[in-house]
């Protein structure tokens, strides 16, 4: 599976897609990047005259790269975007540094386990200076969409 194809198979689109590229990928880990553009919708009002990326958005970025992209890769041919979706089921993230508008981050996810369509990973986010921004654990699952 080509890395760009995985991003295309995500169930997200702008303005809620927080994956630019996947740099590394194998059965045990994933590494990807995202640049938080200066005009992202969530910077307005967070915080007045000093915008900072909200922690929930950093967590989402970590989950999209470290869990959703990784899960699609691990499911391989079983993944069908029309029939399947993904959902985060758990997160425990500890924040160490802020991320400002215009910053590029790198996320590394390492598999803890993958079974019964549930993936649990340790995730670490780094800034462009290779300093840890946030780290923790995310888990999620792939599920069949309900047919209307």
Paired sense of beta strands 132-144 and 118-126, if any: antiparallel
Whether 29 is catalytic is no
52, with CB counted inside 10 A (0-12, 13-18, 19+), is: middle
Nearest to 114 by CA among 62, 60, 68, 49: 68
Out of 37, 41, 46, 78, the active site residue is 46
Residues in the chain: 148
- Contact predicate 133/126, CB 8 Å: yes
Catalytic residue list: 46
């Amino acid at each position: 599976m080509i890395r760009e194809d995985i991003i295309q198979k995500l169930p997200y689109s702008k303005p809620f897609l927080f994956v630019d590229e996947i740099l590394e990928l194998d059965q045990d880990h994933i590494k990807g990047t995202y640049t938080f553009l200066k005009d992202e919708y969530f910077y307005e009002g967070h915080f007045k005259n000093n915008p900072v990326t909200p922690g929930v958005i950093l967590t989402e970025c970590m989950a999209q790269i470290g869990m959703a992209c990784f899960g699609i890769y691990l499911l391989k041919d079983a993944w069908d975007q029309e029939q399947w979706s993904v959902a985060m089921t758990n997160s425990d993230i500890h924040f160490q540094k802020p991320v400002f508008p215009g910053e590029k981050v790198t996320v590394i996810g390492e598999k803890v386990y993958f079974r019964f369509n549930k993936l649990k990973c340790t995730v670490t986010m780094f800034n462009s200076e290779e300093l840890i921004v946030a780290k923790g654990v995310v888990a999620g699952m792939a599920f069949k969409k309900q047919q209307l």
